[in-house]
Structure formats: structure tokens, C-alpha cells
Chains A and B, each alone.
Chain A
Amino acid sequence: MTITAELIAEHNLSSEEYGRIVDILGREPNLVELGVFSAMWSEHCSYKSSRIHLKNLPTTGPRVIQGPGENAGIVDIGDGLAVAFKMESHNHPSFIEPYQGAATGVGGILRDVFTMGARPIASLDSLRFGQLAAPRMRHLVDGVVRGIAGYGNCIGIPTVGGETTFHPAYDRNILVNVMNVGVVPSHRIFRGRAEGTGNPVIYVGSKTGRDGIHGATMASEEFAGDETRQKRPTVQVGDPFTEKLLMEACLELFGIDAVVGIQDMGAAGLTSSSFEMAGRAGSGLEIDLSKVPVRETGMTPYEILLSESQERMLLVARRDRLDTVLEVFAKWELEAVVIGQVTDSGRVVAFFEGRIVADLPAAPLSERAPVYDRPRVAPTPVLSRGWENLPEPGSYGACLRRILASENVAQKSWIWTQYDHMVGTNTVERPGGDAAVVRVKGTSKAIAVKSDVNPFFCTSDPYRGAAIAVAEAARSIAATGARPLAVTDCLNFGSPERPEIMGQFEAAVRGLSDACRALSTPVVSGNVSFYNETDGRPIPPTPTVGMVGLLEDVDRRVKMPFRRDGDAVALLGNSRDELGASEFLRTVHGRDDGPCPEVDLDAERRLVELLVRLAEERRVASAHDVSDGGLAVALAECAMAGGLGVLVRLESDVRPSALLFGETTGRALITFAPGDEGSIGAAARAAGVPFDAIGLVRGGRLTIEVNGRALLDEPVAALSEIWTTSFARAMEESAEVL
């Protein structure tokens, strides 16, 4: 078959890229080879537009065992243990088919973690939806939540946290970002490397079908019109039961020194796993596609190489342990087949029915894919459209109630009660607090995990928004008493072919870099999702941050709810006159303009240090990060969760609406025994953190006075009723339409 210009275009390759292929091969590729290049050089697999910027991220640190480039990043937590984690997007498939799209997203990220040798112990999901009233939106929310639940619950990995945002800008491009964290003995980490000439290459797991062919290329294109229906066959179907068997079998094998290297067949399936494993090791592979277990007859080598059927792994075993490996897979009732062997040729050679169907050098595909410095236009931060002149609200209490009922702030128990968040019996702090806390069995340690990003801030200013995402995640983690360790990211943007999107991307990556450097939290893994746009309308820049922190002593963790009547409440950090991009402006005034709040990364670092130290010294009764909805919402959350009221007296020249609802960064609430005010205040001052004793936990009302005037006085039980039921009501409202 001759390769025509149409075929090249259908494979999403430019004519320059095709020229590069011909250069590398010294000949024209055949169709199978063209498919392989197309998948490996897709944006999704090759990071060709993002690589040049991502290299600026800080990726090293004293605890980093594995940085970006492997299936997951790994960070040392001491005592011979490490945590492996990564976040990934499944945006495009989830919009097309929400249940399977989200489910296979969970399956994929779990495989990324357990292939490193780690047992997954916690998942998080970071979701962005359009407004609930948009077409299909309740169906999408319902399907995504069911999909995450269906997969995670069945395989038995708890989904312990996450966040969900709703905004019309996501009406036609939802985001499903899933993160997983696992624990691995630090001396027994596995990598995706095909080493040892003559070692067998084993295919294990589900059979290969025609599903998901070109999934990676699909995720590298924008949607147009009503394409989502036609693209449904490119979405894969998940089988969590098979994955459970695969996970247990692999973990059993990792314990007996039989596996040399292993990789999940994720995006671009057998192609990416074989080329990447050989590329990383500098070796070669010979594989016989006729031996790959297939679901349908008549599958071509092209289809077998590019299928994205789920729950499949490629592994290289020690030659002398092959029988053991096959026995373990047989015990778990998995189909495992030797499909080839490791060579030292530097090439991946694929056979089919006795003839060579592809013969390509491994390294240029996986490690020397094209790199683009795409044109970009620096973003212009959004400024005010005059909201400074908006009148102060008549009732601050009514504003608080509306914000608590808003889709973005309302409690999301409707979502997390559908997730098994307790299986594994490690979930010490369940969803709903700051960060989730998961203990590490066999030690006194726990890890705190949090995903974060405020897309409204990022719309206004991608640099600051991204930096704030890191700062906020760190603050949430420190509020539990854990020390932030490292970051995984999932960078969701529109088309990189548009200069304004690349401008956003560059600025956001710079924001992440600066914040991760300031907070000593290197980026150890991540994922880029471009082309999140439909008919030329891109999503807001959404650089999701997933952070992991370490609590040396799980008994020293700090919770969010107010604990004792009579405790003193202090605000750490300064409040500024900032209302831009706040939930208050969106909910009360229906506008989402305004400048992103400022961020002072040094101040954030000092606050994190202080929170961690206060927890270590057991000096606080509760702590909570101040973020969405501002100080009033943060106070309400502590009060509602603890079933206790609070009387707060503020002295400030900041305008009351901004003082109560502004989303100034770098702030946290703590409570402690009233007698400790002097010593804790002194500790804060010594740490360079502004400290303001603002009130007392007492009674059953949330009361806020500003400059001697009572601005807000609401019964906590009534607020709680609004906060805990609004989201379920909004979802069930037109449940019959689902």
C-alpha cells in the first residue's frame, strides 16, 4: 500500500513530520509503521508541544527516587518505603461516553502505579463540568461519578478525595483528572525497561480487540460539531475485575524477583509499551503479533499494534523464571503469552504470520519525537470591569447562604458517598476535610493527598492561578499536619496550535515551577491534555495539581472541624481587598471577571512551615485552609463539620464583602486552648506569619462582627442543612431527564 497525502493527514501527521519519518527510516514507511509513528508522535504520547516548557519544572529533590518519564513518580517516605503517584486525564473519552471514559481513566492510572511495584492505596478525582443546566450535563456528571465508582469500588482502591467545579466554560469539554497513590518498598521498584537480551516478552491480561484504536490520536484533536457520537467506538470499555486479578498477580510476582521490566498498555497500546520499554533500556524487541490473544478474528497487525483495549500489560521476565511467572498468572486465571524476546538490535521488529510487518528503531520513536516551540502570545491578565463600585450587599448572611448552596462550594457528599472511600481500612480522614489522610500500615506514618486548581484564577491569570494551585494544595496538606513532599500535575488546555493557548500554557508552567521551587515540592510525574476545545472555544486553563504530603506520626494529624466550646480561633495570614474571580462575585453578582488574587510564595512557605510545626508540637485543636468562598465560608465549614458555633470579631479597613468572601491566598484558620494564645502568637510571629486572634468557638451560631458591627449571624444547623443538601438537590432536580 502506498502512503498517500490523505493517509498521512488521516494519521494526524504533518508533511514535515512525514519527512522526518522518511529521514529516520531511510525509506517510506509501510501502513503499519505509519500507524505506529502516528500514535507515538501524537501530542498525547510525545508531549511534542509541551516538552520544551515542561523541562523547566523542578523535578529533583532529596526524596525523589523517580521523576517524570516513567509510569509514575516516586518519593521516599523513610523506613524503606516510598510512594508512587501520578495524575492523568481522561477528558475526551469521558465527554463521549462518561461511564466508560471515567472508569477506564481510573483503570489506567491504577496500572501506572502498580506497574512501578506499588500497591495502590488511594485515588482522587478532579472534575470540571459545565453548568448543570447545559445539555447532557447531568448525564455526564452522573455517568462520570458512576464510572469512577464502578471501577474503583470493584477493584477495591478507595477514592478518598478530589474536587469538582462547575462553569459554563466546560459545557462542551468536561475534564476528568484521576490520581492514584501507592506504597512501594523503596528497594523493590519496577520500571518499564526491556533489559537482558534473550529475556521473554510476555503479554498478559485481556484479549486485544478493535476498541480504542486511535484513542491517543483522538485525545490529540479538538471536537467539532456533533462528533462525539461518531467517536464513541474509540472509547474503550473497562473491566475492573480483570484489572484486580492483574494487579494482584503482578504484586505477587514483584515479591519473587522474576520480573525485569513491566509497562501498562495504555494510550497507543502495544505500540507505546514496546517502543518505550525498548527505548528506555536502549535495547530492542522482537514480537510476534500472531501470538497476541485477540477478541475477534481477522484482526490486522495494524489493529493489534494500535488497539487500546484495557487491562493489558507487557512485561519482560527473567529467562530462568519464565515458568514461575506463567504459573502465577495462571493461578489468577489470566491469559499470559510469550510474544517475543528482548534483543540488542535497538529496533522493534514486529512479525505477523511469519513475515515482518514493522521494523523500526526504538529510540527515535519514544525519545526523539519531534519537539515544537509553538508560537505563543502572552496572556493578558483579566482586570476589573468595575466591580469595585458594586454596592455592598444588604445581607451578608444571605450571601453566605447562597455561596454555601452554590454548586462549587456546596458539600459534595452526593459524589463521594458513591465512592468506596474506606476499603483498605487506611482512610483516617475521609473526604470533606482539607486533604485526605491515609495511614501507611506497618508504620506510624500517614500520607496526606490533595488535588487542587482554581480555574477562575487561571482564566484571569494563568501564571498566578497555577502558582496558587500549588500553594493551596500545600496549605491544605499542611493544615492536616503533613509536610508537602511532591507534586504530580495534569495540565488541561485548549489547542496548542493557537498562540494564545500556548501563551497560557507557558505562563501556567512557569507558575507551577516557581511555586514548586518555593515550596520544595518537585514535580515527579504528570500529564498534558491539549485540544480541550469545541468549535474553537477552549476551556479555561486548568493546570490541576496533585500533591502528596507526609505525616511522620499519624496521631499528630489535625482535623478541620471545630473541636471544643471555648477554644480560641486565630487567622494566620493577611486579608487583602481582593474579590476578583471569587465565588462571591460569581454567585451573588453573576460575574466572573476581576484580577486573580496575589500570591506571595515566600509567605506561603512560612505558613506551611508553621502549620506543620504546630501540628508536630500538638498545639492546635483544629486547622483549615481558607480558599473558595473566603473567610466566612472557611469559618462556616469548620463550624458545620464540628456542629459548633463561633463568634468572630474582625478589625479591618478591608471592605466587608472582601473581608468575608474575598479569596486572598496565604491564609488558614487554627483553633487552640485560649490559654495558648500568647505562645502560639509568638510562634507565628517568630515564623514570620501574621497572626490575628479573631474569635471563640461557642454556642450554635456563626456570628461575625466587623469593626464592632454584627454583619452576619446565622444558626450553624441551618447553614449545614443548606450546605449538605444543595448539591444532591441540584443533581436530582431533573433526574428523570437522565
Chain B
Amino acid sequence: MSRGQPRFAIVVFPGSNCDQDCYHVATELLGCEAEYVWHRDTDLKGADVVILPGGFAYGDYLRAGALARFSPVMESVTRFAMDGGPVLGICNGFQVLLEAGLLPGAVRVNRGLRYVCRDVHMRVENASTPFTRLYEPGEVVRMPVGHGEGNYTAPPETLTELEYESGVVFRYCDEAGRVTDEANPNGATAGIAGIANRDGNIVGLMPHPDRCAEGLLGNEVGRKMFESAVSSLAESKV
């Protein structure tokens, strides 16, 4: 890592549809370099951060993320992540990380059986990952969701592990930070909106930080997730 600005790799699966939104945040809003990486490529082009964007990879046919994990690029993403590289999966990207086994658990169809697109509130449960370090622990943030399958679940032992090892990164809550059933848009177990692996370098979440990263859209809170990655890389370079 010798360059000044970190470089984002944005993986494009057939059916990804937030790839350009993530690219816009990385380049236009943060002034970083970014490269699209087509799912059949295996070269991450020297990226410092890898983003798996939202969308409907392979149409989400069979099951969200189920086919995308077989894409050749996922081998490179896995290697990059195992070497400690920061990887962020947003929405469908999170589903791909789950299907690929890079994060534990699974998502089911939303409790209400409908796609839901609206703002939700989340509490930052772990502010020490490379994607959340600029948030305050316990901070309540408002971000949009847009998904039909976001109902996170995992075996009891995995859930226990997540809870004890700070694996839960975001939890749905109300405006005041209370984790309630009404504040949960999809029925996710324990209000889990986002998780990390044990080392914290792989983070996945259902809500969309890419959709709330500039004032024009009425909300800039999501930008901090991208900026966290930049600041974390800057620090690791020192």
C-alpha cells in the first residue's frame, strides 16, 4: 500500500445495481480511486478496499446471493479478506458474503413477506471495525433499507458468538435507540442489521450507506462508513 489515496474495488455481478452508487460515493464524494471488477475477473486491481454492492446478482434466482458466490471473483475476494483486507457487503453484497461463508448466518424473506424500502434507525453496536470506526459506540443512525430478504438468522451458538465477540455491528432500533419489534423492518433475529467477522475486516449490512452519503439526498450519515475505511487504511499505512 504505497499510494496516497486508497483504492476501492467495486465488484459487479450480473444483476448488481448499486455498483454505480458505490462508485459515485468513492470517487465523487470521497475523491478516492475506484475500479469496477467484473465478476469473471480474478484481479482486484490492487484494491485496498473491496465493496460488494447491492442489487439482484443473478436476479436473486434460487436464493439471494446463492449463485453469485460461485463467480470467479469471489475466490479473489476471499483471499483478500483472509489476508485482512477490508470487505464491505451492502444489502445484496451482504447476502453474497453470507452465501460465500465469509460471514455467518443467513437471511430469509422479510417477516411481512413484502419488499420494504424506507428509512430505518440502527444503533452502532461495534464502532471499531474498519467501516464503523468514525461512528460513536451506541450512536443511532438513520439509513434507508431496500430489500425483500433481510430477515437475518443464525444457529443459536453462532448468535451467542456474534453477541459475545462484538460480531453485531448494527442493530435496528427506534429513534431513541431502543431495540423494539416495531423498529425492525424485516424480523431479523435480535434486530441484527449488520455483522462482522471475528477480525472485524469483513462487514455486511442490509441498510444502504451508499444511499445516504450526501446532503443533497437529505442524509450524509452513510458516508462515514466509506470514510471509516479510508481513515483506517491511512492509519495502517503509518
Q: Which residues of A contact B (CB under 8 A)?
A: 146, 149-150, 153-156, 239-242, 244-245, 331-333, 413, 416-425, 427-428, 439, 441, 554-555
Contact = CB atoms under 8 A, between A and B. Distances in A.
Contact of A428 (B18, B144, B216): B216
Nearest to B117: A420
Contact of B17 (A244, A417, A441): A244
A425 B217 contact: yes
Nearest to B12: A248
A155 to B, nearest CB: 7
B210 A425 contact: yes
B116 to A, nearest CB: 6
Contacts of B144: 422
A455 to B, nearest CB: 28
A425 B56 contact: no
B17 A422 contact: no
B115 A427 contact: no
Nearest to A331: B38
B115 A420 contact: yes
Nearest to B148: A153
Contact of A153 (B14, B21, B38, B146): B146
B54 to A, nearest CB: 8
B14 A422 contact: no
B218 to A, nearest CB: 8
B211 A422 contact: yes
Nearest to B28: A441
Interface of B is mostly: mixed
Nearest to A245: B14
Interface stretch (B58-66, B75-83, B151-159, B170-178): B58-66
B155 to A, nearest CB: 30
Nearest to B146: A420
Interface residues of B, number: 32
Given A332-B14, A423-B211, A424-B21, 17 more contacts: A154-B17, A154-B60, A156-B18, A239-B59, A241-B14, A241-B15, A242-B59, A416-B117, A417-B116, A418-B114, A418-B116, A418-B117, A422-B211, A423-B18, A425-B24, A441-B24, A554-B216
A149 B60 CA distance: 14
A543 B54 CA distance: 37
B231 interface: no
A112 B166 CA distance: 49
Contacts, number: 83
Contacts of B213: 425
Given A156-B55, A427-B217, A417 B118 contact: yes
Contacts of A153: 56, 115, 117, 146, 148
B123 interface: no
B20 A424 contact: yes
Most chain A CB neighbours (cut-off 10 Å) among B55, B58, B146, B211: B146
Nearest to A424: B21
B117 A421 contact: yes
Nearest to A446: B216
Given A239-B59, A428-B216, A428-B217, A423 B115 contact: no
Nearest to B210: A425
B15 A244 contact: yes
A25 to B, nearest CB: 44
A113 to B, nearest CB: 16
A568 B216 CA distance: 26
B142 interface: no
Contacts of A413: 118
B17 A423 contact: yes
Nearest to A735: B113
A428 B214 CA distance: 11
A554 B215 CA distance: 12
B208 interface: yes
Contacts of A156: 17-18, 55-56
15 contacts: A149-B115, A154-B59, A156-B18, A241-B14, A241-B58, A241-B61, A245-B15, A420-B117, A420-B146, A422-B117, A423-B17, A425-B21, A428-B217, A441-B28, A555-B216
A426 to B, nearest CB: 9
Contacts of B24: 425, 441
A449 B21 CA distance: 21
Nearest to A555: B216
Contact of A423 (B14, B116, B146): B146
Contacts of B210: 425
